[in-house]
Chain A
Amino acid sequence: MALAVFIFFLAGGQYLKQPRGEMDNVPAYLAKVREDVMSESWDQAEIDCEKLESAWRMVIPRIQYSVERDDINSINRNLTRLKGWLMVKDKPNSMVELQEAEMFWNELGK
């Protein structure tokens, strides 16, 4: 019984990262920021990026036991750099960061 709980806890990254509501829906916010960047709505992109970061912060406590710390740090880095690129309204680099963050997100817990 104890082993089954441990296995779920340590191998359940894929399940645990799934959104529990609107507030922690990381993939949805990633998509929103991408749309904002594509349409060059920079102010909205910054607002959505804050929401994205807040959603990500809500997910971390759930997944921190089952995923690599380096993966968490990588997404943290992507989001920090993304904020910088949005500030200077740099479309290509913003897209690169979003793409990379999405790749890390998809690989998280696999």
Chain B
Amino acid sequence: MNYTVRDQAGVREVELRGQLTFEANDAFRQIIDGMEKDGIVECVLNLGGLDFIDSAGLGLLVLANNAGNRVSVQLKMKHPRGQVRDMIEISEFHTIIPCEF
């Protein structure tokens, strides 16, 4: 997985690309570190470029959401597609992290 970060008026958009699995652990933890330190109020994960997520990837989303709750950064997701959308719907992750489909 790789990603790009864009900040605008306290809102960070992180565009994820590739596969969100255990191998993405290090990169994803950098994103979480940034959420905690960079003084933003909202972080939107753009999943449009993500083509696969597994349960380890869902675990990373839980981790990011819990970190966001601790430092009062609202985490959101948007535009999941294909298998990623299926996984989010099956696991109802949009009920814990707001998701724009």
Q: Do A and B assemble together?
A: no
